[in-house]
């Protein structure tokens, strides 16, 4: 096969495969928390995130809003702090807790649709 024809075939194949790969990994649905729970429910359990700081010495944020995505396997990824109160306090505890969470697809989510949502966590207040 002539080199030019071989290059054209390789480029055509690469483009076709990239389109298939893009179709296989759709962007997660952007959902408010209440609607997100209709797709994925948190697996019950106690989460003990690693804390690299001592809450007795470092002020912890009392309320933290975290954005997260859930993939087809029920695992969180792309976890980020959206807001913390107070903003200067340590919010890593919430980030680590959401990273540790696992989810199970609901009966209505048979396709295991990936989602993106937010949740608000509170430190030690029992609220």
Whether pLDDT at 90 is above 50:
yes
pLDDT tens-digit map of 94-113? 998 899 999 999 999 999 99
pLDDT at 15: 56
Q: Where are the domains of the chain?
A: 27-122
pLDDT at 124: 75
pLDDT at 12: 60
pLDDT at 5: 55
pTM for the full model?
Answer: 0.72
DSSP string, the chain: --HHHHHHHHHHHHHHHHHHHHHHSPPPEE--HHHHTTTEEEPPS------SS-TTTSPBPSEEEEEEEE-TTSBEEEEEEEEEESTTSB-HHHHHHHHH-BEEE-TT-TT---EEEEEEEESSS--
What is the Cα–Cα distance from 113 to 111, expressed in whole angstroms?
5
Place of tokens 């194949």: 13
Decide if domain 27-122 falls under CATH 3.40.190.290: no
């Amino acid at each position: 096969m002539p080199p030019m024809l071989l290059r054209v075939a390789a480029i055509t194949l690469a483009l076709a495969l990239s389109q298939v790969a893009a179709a296989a990994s759709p962007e997660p649905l952007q959902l408010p928390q209440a609607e997100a729970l209709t797709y994925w429910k948190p697996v019950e359990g106690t989460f003990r995130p690693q804390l690299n700081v001592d809450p007795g010495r470092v002020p912890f944020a009392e309320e933290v809003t975290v954005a997260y995505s859930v993939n087809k396997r029920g695992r969180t990824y792309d976890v980020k702090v959206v807001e913390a109160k107070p903003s200067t306090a340590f919010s890593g505890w919430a980030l680590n807790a959401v990273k540790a969470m696992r989810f199970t697809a609901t009966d209505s989510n048979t396709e295991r649709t990936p989602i993106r949502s937010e949740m608000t966590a509170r430190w030690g207040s029992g609220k």
